[in-house]
Amino acid sequence: MLSLRPAQLNDNAFIRELFTAALPLYQHLMPGSFEANIQNMDILTDKGLSFNATGLEGWIFENAQFSNQPVKTTVGFAGIGALNPKQAYMAALYFLPGQQRQGFGSTALKLLESDYLKQGFEHMLLLVHHQADWARNFYLRHHYQTISAKRAEIIRYGGEAFSHLYEPGLELMAKTLTISA
């Protein structure tokens, strides 16, 4: 049973571990990006600050094999921020390598989308590298649509916040949040 909770200072090492685990996948696609994420986690930890000091909300995913199991295993992380009152931006959704391909990503996405819909958000946006087929296909299976790969269109759609996030090869994907049946 997957549950979600806000990230805290003591989760920084776990978040750093996830960024480090993702490094081999993205290092050739986005050189320096994940190294910067790792460095930022070190800086936050040194300053005694949680991930939330980045301006994004950090979410930790925990799994208990059975609903009455007292000990939960930390398996994943998401980082999401509000672009405006209607659009949320998912900057990160990662799981430990040994916890991948078990349905946690799908469940986590549903939990996050439901939570942000309840907060009044209408759209979830994210940037994905066009060569990261594993990520693109995951989001396409969950009804995200590619909006654009052009920097100017991405900024026009998602706002000025994307001007510093954009890197060559990234494309904007979005989903209209709805109540699940």
Indicate the pLDDT class of residue 22, thresholds 50, 70 and 90.
confident
Please determine, for residue 71, whether its predicted confidence score (pLDDT) is greater than 70: no
Extents of the domains making up the chain: 2-176
Q: For 114, which DSSP code?
A: H
CATH code, residues 2-176: 3.40.630.30
Angle of helix 33-46 relative to helix 12-26, nearest 10 degrees, comes to 170
Please determine, for residue 151, whether its predicted confidence score (pLDDT) is greater than 80: yes
Provide the sign of the torsion angle of the four alpha carbons 59, 10, 54, 169, taken in this order. negative
What distance in Å separates the CA atoms of residue 87 and residue 123, rounded to the nearest whole number?
5
Q: What is the pLDDT of residue 181?
A: 42
Q: Is 16 helix (H, G, I), strand (E, B) or coil?
A: helix
What's the burial of 179, exposed, middle or buried (CB within 10 Å: 0-12/13-18/19+)?
exposed
Indicate the pLDDT class of residue 143, thresholds 50, 70 and 90.
very high
What percent of the chain is predicted at pLDDT more than 70?
92
Please determine, for residue 109, whether its predicted confidence score (pLDDT) is greater than 50: yes
Across the beta sheet with 87-95, the strand order is 2-6, 57-63, 73-82, 87-95, 123-129, 170-176, 145-148
